[in-house]
Amino acid sequence: MNLLPLALYIAAAIAYAAHFQRGDQQTGRLATALLAGGALAHTFAIGMKTMALGYAPIAGTTAAVSAFVWLLALAYLYIEITTDERTIGAFIAPLVAALQLIPALTPDATEARSDVLRTPLFTLHVASMLFAYASFALACVIGITYVLLFKEIKGKDVGFFYRRLPPLARLDVMNDRAVRIGWLFLTVGVAIGAVWAIRARPAFPDPRVQAMTIVDPKILVALVCWAVYSFQLVARRFGFTGRRAALLSAVGFAIVLLNFVPVGYFLTRSHNF
């Protein structure tokens, strides 16, 4: 069920790359249509699975990655529609397609949902974290485009990126807004997760629940991620802007991806329901 969204996301990535290279508006509209089609197919797949299971499929690393990809695609489409700016899609669409490989190529788990996950706090925790990670992904991509444009301008060889990307000042503002939104949702998600874990540990003897402590790699890396973005927001008030903020956004999202895939699959003892 995840193969059709994957195929459309890959096609969209190719079309966005062609649009970025040539600047052809017709190709750009095709790229948008393909990405929107992929998001629609993804919505249908998640909806069908929700109906089959009786709950939203967001527990487990594979399901969380799928939900994150879907959310990232929708978030980017919203930005594109409201700004009429498609150039960032050449960087977002490949990321969406690459991450969608995980749920597309990983068999769906058939294990019954644990009772500890059947709470509003769990749903709010996961939803907040996914909103945060989607915002950080956008900030990372915006930061990368900022660095590319900055290097071209600094080298006094304006041309390829200069003609295609928004001005540096606009990219810096976009990066700051994405980080602020992501930090807000991350803070809410971490706080709700802490309350959920405190309530769940006495009530559920499941070893995975008992492992929900600060020393678990999944939780520890999430706190490191929060610290990195908190530093970025505070440091911005003291002139930590532009290229330095853009690079830190990329570092922060690298930590997010680390937490999503290798830590989520191989290291955590608590977040593997």
With a pLDDT cut of 90, the percent of the chain lying above it is 43
Cβ neighbours of residue 29 under 8 Å, at least 6 residues apart?
none
For residue 143, the model assigns a pLDDT of: 93
- Indicate the residue among 93, 113, 133 that finishes a domain: 113
Nearest to 175 by CA among 245, 117, 222, 240: 245
Question: What pLDDT was estimated at residue 94?
Answer: 94
Mean pLDDT for the stretch of residues 76-105: 88
Q: Are residues 186 and 223 in the same domain?
A: yes
* Residue among 257, 213, 272, 263 at smallest CA distance from 59: 272
Of 88-92, 119-123, 194-198, 211-215, give the lowest mean pLDDT range.
211-215
- For residue 55, give its domain range: 1-113
Q: Clarify whether residues 137 and 46 are in a common domain.
A: no
Query: Is the per-residue pLDDT at 33 higher than 80?
Result: yes
Rounded Cα distance between 99 and 161, Å, is 26
Are residues 120 and 79 part of one domain? no
Q: What's the domain count of the chain?
A: 2
Co-location of 55 and 71 in the same domain:
yes
Task: Say yes or no to pLDDT of 224 above 80.
Answer: yes
Look up residue 146 and give its two tokens: 């900022």
Based on the domain organization, do 149 and 47 belong to the same domain?
A: no
Q: Is the pLDDT of residue 110 over 70?
A: no
Residues 43 and 124 occupy one common structural domain: no
- 60 with 148, same domain: the answer is no
Cα distances from 95 to residues 104, 138, 142, in angstroms, run 14, 10, 13
What integer pLDDT is reported at residue 34 of this predicted model?
Answer: 97
d(CA 127, CA 58): 8
Q: Which of 14-18, 110-114, 144-148 has the lowest mean pLDDT?
A: 110-114
Q: Are residues 147 and 264 in the same domain?
A: yes
Is 64 in the same domain as 76? yes
What tokens does 167 get?
């001005």
Q: Which of 83, 113, 143 is the last residue of a domain?
A: 113
Query: What letter does residue 260 receive in the DSSP assignment?
Result: I
Mean pLDDT, residues 90-107: 89
Q: Assess whether 102 and 124 both reside in one domain.
A: no
Reduced to 3 states, what is the DSSP secondary structure of residue 51? helix
Residues 150, 100: one domain? Answer: no
pLDDT digits (tens, 9 = 90+) for 53-81: 777 777 777 888 889 999 999 888 988 88
Q: Please indicate, yes or no, whether residues 244 and 127 belong to a single structural domain of this protein.
A: yes
Domain termination residue (choose one: 98, 113, 128): 113
Is a pLDDT exceeding 70 seen at residue 108? no
Residue 273 has pLDDT above 70, yes or no: no
